Structure 1
Amino acid sequence: MDTTSHILMGLGLGALAQIDPVIANNAALAQAVVLGTVIGSNAPDFDFMYLLKGKGSYYRNHRAWSHSLLALPLWSAGVSGIIFSLFNVPSFSHLFFWTFLSVILHVLFDLFNVHGTQVLLPFSKKWIAFDSLPLFDPTISFVHILGFCLLPFNEPGKTFLIIYLFIFLYVVVRTIYAFLIKRKLEHHFIRSLRIKLIPRTFLFQWDVLIETNTDFLFGVYSEGSLHIEHTFSKEIDFPELVSDSQNHPTVSDFLSSTQYAFPSVRSWKNGYLIYWKDLRFRTKKFFPTLAILFISSDFKMKNCFIGTLHSLKQYKQVIRKLKI
């Protein structure tokens, strides 16, 4: 989920906490719990601090240890401990419980979008993603805002209990539907190596990535059918350069963040451009999230870009800088 959605969910959990009479009858504790749920709902994303060491470090570490099972109680204890020391509240256990719940839901909802998390660290480095929710889900945001509008007229706890029951059913339905779509596609594309669903903001629409031994197929699944929009071959020019590029620190950081990167090479008068594109994210035939490595013809100069390009103009600016 995006930051705005995590904030809305933190506020929603703070309202839901009012269902507990101990919290509802103590204004200071209620305020502390809301602060705890809002901060806790965003705490795992405090790994943005890795940006201080560069984009590569952020790509390698985002949604990794900070979103692992071992980190959940640590985030909760840290956030609730600081708040408890600042507020004169009668119960640390109530504050910790709701903060802990907000941290858990942050990681849980991140598991349902296309990015996923390395939640099983240190036991497994595998990225886990259920591919059922978009990064920003307008339905989940809308029902939160609706709930906030109803607060002056209804009890906060009961209002958000109904809202979260609805969200639970909504996520279950989307997850089951995604599972059935993937199963249907696997039965049809029996020679596929893997199939990735990328949820759209529109309800029950997915972008689809299908990998075979020879190529990648990209399409959109909607209204019970798949429309293939384009394909490209897995043949790679200059395979030695591609293999060598994986040893570049920035490219290595990028590759650690995705299981769906694929390379391509373009030769220039003064060198080569090696692209590692994250195939999960595309706009028509353009893949905006990527690493680009420029290698000079004499192999002495290597410059690298990592990030997301939002326009053709931005892309051209990056290429010019790489070749300086």
Structure 2
Amino acid sequence: MIRSDEMDTSSHIIMGLGLAALAHIDPAVANSAALSQAVLFGTVIGSNAPDFDYIYRMKGKGSYIRNHRSTSHSLFALPLWSIAVSGIIYAFLPEASFLHLFLWTFLAVILHVFFDLFNVHGTQVSLPFTKKWIAFDSLPLVDPTILVVHLFGFSLLPFFPMDEVFLTIYLFIFLYLAVRSISTVLVKRNLHLHFQNSIRIKLIPRISLFHWDVIIETKDDFLFGVFAKGSLTIDHSLVKKIAFPDLVSESKKHPLVSDFLSSTQYAYPFVLKRKNGYLVYWKDLRFRTNKFFPILTIIAVSSDHKMNEGFIGTLYSLKQYKQVIKQLKNTAS
């Protein structure tokens, strides 16, 4: 199951538009064309603002992976994004009320980070107090239910007041989120009762309601399966046995591995010995298609244990994987 690494930009734009419609529940917005226009820009831009950390891609994919959903999604960043976005819009629309513009933009920024917390990736929202990733494992990274409900709301706007429509829409969405969250907690509690020797259990929500991919980590192995219709099916296991442990330990000093490990708590190393050296893999176990883990970093190591070039990112096909390996093999000499 290969998934996107984030809720896509179109989803945040749609949610921003929904919040702009909901904002008309505020009489100041409903009675001012200028403020209504400003809030529209504020909620759409604010709904995307935390993902402006995309700029880190200019320093390389590793830098982006390290920094995405970290400082830009932290509690201290939320008001800063809101002030910046509101301030820029207010400079072009000074007749709008800055306070109301700021509050609705702030709500858009907050909801972006809030919904990110409920998917498998999570955020480092508690920075700088802790670097821990917080993820509630309740929503898929892109949830079509939330998108379809928004689109349904837009289709009703010619017939009903937009504030009433989207107040109903958002009440439904939060009810939907509550159902998903409660069911996730109950399933995880149930699995812990059955796997009392587990170190940790990770649920990866699928699009279908009450349907999760599961990772169960024990002292000796990882179990991978699917929980659906009240029962768990284990379809794959991975024994914890690290080949060439010194090489694996040394690989952590490589910038790409360091970036990768900062972004996930479910990375696991694999080493493949080659004629002219080694390939050290660090794979994110949360994302898999059968026995293939597409989100990873690969480091080429020479026969004398010198770290060389590497790859970090997502491999979407076997063809792409072979191309990357071919390039790295040439450097591991």
Same fold (TM over 0.5): yes
The 5 A counterparts of 1:123-162 are 123-162=129-168
Q: Per the alignment, in what secondary structure is the counterpart of residue 126 of structure 1?
A: coil
Residues 38 and 96 in structure 2, CA contact (< 8 A), matched pair in contact too: no
Give identity over the alignment, percent. Answer: 69
Residues 303 and 323 in structure 1, CA contact (< 8 A), matched pair in contact too: no
Match of 2:233 in 1: 227
Match of 1:16 in 2: 22
Match of 1:304 in 2: 310
Residues 238 and 265 in structure 1, CA contact (< 8 A), matched pair in contact too: yes
**Is 197-206 or 295-304 further displaced after alignment?**
295-304
TM-score by length of 2: 0.96
Match of 1:202 in 2: 208
Distance 2:94 2:65 in 1: 39
Instruction: After TM superposition, give the deviation of residue 296 of structure 1 in Å.
Output: 1.3
Q: Per the alignment, in what secondary structure is the counterpart of residue 125 of structure 2?
A: coil
Residue 103 of structure 2 corresponds to residue 111 of structure 1:
no
Residue 254 of structure 2 corresponds to residue 254 of structure 1:
no
Match of 1:27 in 2: 33
Match of 2:4 in 1: none
Per-residue displacement from partner, 1:28-70 (whole Å, max 9, x unpaired)?
A: 1101101100000000000010000011111111100000000
One of 83, 93, 102 as aligned partner of 1:87: 93
The 5 A counterparts of 1:40-59 are 40-59=46-65
Match of 1:319 in 2: 325
Residues 70 and 124 in structure 2, CA contact (< 8 A), matched pair in contact too: yes
Consecutive aligned runs of 4 or more in structure 1 exceeding 2 Å deviation: 298-301
Residue 104 of structure 2 corresponds to residue 98 of structure 1:
yes
Instruction: After TM superposition, give the deviation of residue 301 of structure 1 in Å.
Output: 5.2
State how many pairs are aligned. Answer: 324
Instruction: After TM superposition, give the deviation of residue 2 of structure 1 in Å.
Output: 2.6
Residues 299 and 307 in structure 2, CA contact (< 8 A), matched pair in contact too: no
Residues 251 and 307 in structure 2, CA contact (< 8 A), matched pair in contact too: no
Distance 1:267 1:225 in 2: 39
Q: Give the gaps of 5 or more residues in structure 2.
A: 1-6
Instruction: After TM superposition, give the deviation of residue 89 of structure 1 in Å.
Output: 2.5
CA RMSD of aligned residues (A): 0.8
Supply the AA of the counterpart residue of 1:11. L
TM-score by length of 1: 0.99
Distance 1:311 1:190 in 2: 37
Distance 1:21 1:34 in 2: 15
Residues 214 and 234 in structure 1, CA contact (< 8 A), matched pair in contact too: yes
Instruction: After TM superposition, give the deviation of residue 322 of structure 1 in Å.
Output: 1.1
Q: Give the gaps of 5 or more residues in structure 1.
A: none
